[in-house]
Amino acid sequence: MSNDNERRQLLIMRHGKANWEMEIDDLKRPMTERGVEEAINIGYWLSKKPLHPDIIISSNASRALATSKWVAEAMAISEIQQDARIYNASLAQLLAVLADIPSEYKRPMIVGHNPGFEELLLHLADVGEQFYKDGSLFTTGTVAILNMPDDWQPLYRHSAELLDVIRGGSC
């Protein structure tokens, strides 16, 4: 899964498992130990592949930021940008976030939430049954790897190619 051909790729990662047992503002909701493990596993897996993102753009929610930091640490990436539009985002909002990514970034990673991320993935690519596990597509701690068209404005339905879906709990 090299990016030697300079084709733009996109990594879409859903945050690690969140702690729903706490009565807390959702933006401040932390990850569970399992969520931390999922994030570390994805970061380690990506570090062993030619899939290093050149920027990580994260939701401003605590669990997404923590996921981003664990992934970034595993790959010695120092730049994480926060984008509040990713939290609770609709498909249109997520497409706007992607459209704003400067073209010099050839492999950005966005870190955020469902249901928006699954909707984005299903919009961007024709997702075959092989990418589902036990009926689920975009569980927590999962990253989708896509080949993208050169022009990200606009991103039409099925304009990208889904290369793989990696789950942090099993990689």
pLDDT of amino acid 122:
97
Asked if residue 56 belongs to a domain, the reply is yes
**Which 8-state DSSP code applies to residue 106?**
S
Determine the residue type at 93: Q
pLDDT of residue 64: 97
Q: Is the peptide bond preceding residue 53 cis, with omega within 30 degrees of 0?
A: no
Q: What is the pLDDT of residues 50-69, one digit of tens each?
A: 899 999 999 999 999 999 99
Domain assignment of residue 151, yes or no: no
Q: What percent of the chain has pLDDT over 90?
A: 78
| Per-residue pLDDT at 2 | 41
- Would residue 66 count as lying in a domain? yes
| Residues 31 and 39 sit within 8 Å (Cβ to Cβ) | yes
Q: Is residue 85 part of a domain?
A: yes
134: left (phi over 0), alpha (psi -120 to 50) or beta: left
Total domains, the chain: 1
Q: Which comes out higher in pLDDT, residue 7 or 38? A: 38
pTM: 0.93
Using DSSP's 3-state secondary structure scheme, residue 37 falls into helix
Containing structural domain, residue 61: 9-144
CATH number for 39: 3.40.50.1240
pLDDT band at 91 (very low <50, low <70, confident <90, very high): very high
Indicate whether 1 pLDDT > 50. no
Q: What pLDDT is stored for residue 49 in this prediction?
A: 92
Residue 171: the pLDDT is: 74
